[in-house]
Structure 1
């Protein structure tokens, strides 16, 4: 399989110019390796789609605890006790 730069979407012809960034897992199949040209390494950013999806799931769980099977995760309540306060009390009581 050809190595394609994540930043510029160009095939990396010189193997010495290819830098392995990370491995992306997939829902089915083996996943894929993320590559970049040596000069593009600092310009490559991870895909933010997964982060946005996780944020939506956490918001849905917090807003609809009985439908989603839970309120705010324990880690969120523990890390941000002043921020969740009353909202989390309502979530824990099923309101």
Structure 2
């Protein structure tokens, strides 16, 4: 079994040096297990976590604010 090639999230270049790869987060897929997101060490300052997990919390907070 071959390893999945790591691609930088920000520049879309392959990360050939495994020492220069930084794991950022895991994105779940609709079918299957999803994929891991990597970036070059020099580009980690551009990383922002995905907002999808925060949407349910935002809806709950908005509903609570309307009820008060």
Cα deviation digits, residues 27-71 of structure 1 (max 9, x gap) = 1011000000001011123456x48xx6xxxxxxxxxxxxxxxxx
- RMSD between aligned alpha carbons? 2.6
Q: Which runs of 5+ in 1 are unaligned?
A: 55-72, 86-95
Greater RCO (Cα-Cα under 8 Å, separation 6 or more): 2
1:58-93 per-residue CA deviation (whole Å, 9 max, x = no partner) reads: xxxxxxxxxxxxxxx654221x2xxx47xxxxxxxx
Q: Return the structure number with greater strand share.
A: 2
Matches of 1:19 and 1:11, distance apart in 2:
13
2:30 to 11, 27, 30: 27
After TM superposition, the score normalised by the length of structure 2 is 0.71
Segments of structure 2 that go 5 or more residues without pairing to the other structure are: none
- Give 1 or 2 for the bigger CA radius of gyration: 1
TM-score by length of 1: 0.53
Aligned length: 62
